[in-house]
Chain A
Amino acid sequence: GAGVSQSPSNKVTEKGKDVELRCDPISGHTALYWYRQSLGQGLEFLIYFQGNSAPDKSGLPSDRFSAERTGGSVSTLTIQRTQQEDSAVYLCASSFPGAPGAFFGQGTRLTVV
């Protein structure tokens, strides 16, 4: 596709359930990032994939969060046993390695009730 695609655009889930968020980066972009944006907060880095290297998970807030990137393209962010504080917009971005500036998707708005 022409841009970074994320699905679903909105997700409402019950506390304690697991959720999976999907990101389809721009074709050819080997760098992929996940961020989250909570109300009134700045974007918070979660995890970074670069090619076939081991991901940089330094931003994941707890072990309930994990992410995979299959075949160097599509990525899935999984949140297990969701909590209300996980409610946020989860944004995915991609870029060419070393190129300043990433392209963001529209995000998935997650609401945990």
Chain B
Amino acid sequence: GQNIDQPTEMTATEGAIVQINCTYQTSGFNGLFWYQQHAGEAPTFLSYNVLDGLEEKGRFSSFLSRSKGYSYLLLKELQMKDSASYLCAVPLTGGGNKLTFGTGTQLKVEL
């Protein structure tokens, strides 16, 4: 089965950098996803990592280490609008976008 662990809450300052960690256990690895969800809104896809290393996409980067069962999402130059829940997810058996999600990390960006 799959198990995902991520911190419940984090607080950071506008303009700073924050790293949101995710550890996972899966019976077979088929990639790791990060989604962003603002309160009351739909989750939006941020990134997908299937190989080890860092993938950069603008202010957001995602890192994966398959041997350690570990990923992180790095947010640079934080803005107030980045206050949201960040969801780590891995595919269930059957793959694709059939996912099991962590409970999410609620990020609060303060002035």
Contacts and interface: CB of A to CB of B under 8 A. Distances in A.
B43 interface: yes
Contacts of A102: 45, 97
Contact of A43 (B94, B96, B101): B101
Interface in B51-70: none
Contact of A98 (B43, B96, B99): B96
Interface in B76-111: 87, 89, 92-94, 96-104
A105 B31 CA distance: 23
Contacts, number: 60
Interface in A63-95: 91, 93, 95
Q: Interface residues of B: mostly helix, strand, loop or mixed?
A: loop
A40 interface: yes
B98 A103 contact: no
A7 to B, nearest CB: 14
Given A40-B103, A42-B102, A105 B42 contact: yes
A43 B99 contact: yes
Contacts of B31: 100
Given A41-B103, A106-B42, A48 B94 contact: yes
Given A42-B100, A58-B93, A103-B45, 6 more contacts: A42-B87, A48-B98, A50-B96, A59-B92, A106-B41, A107-B42
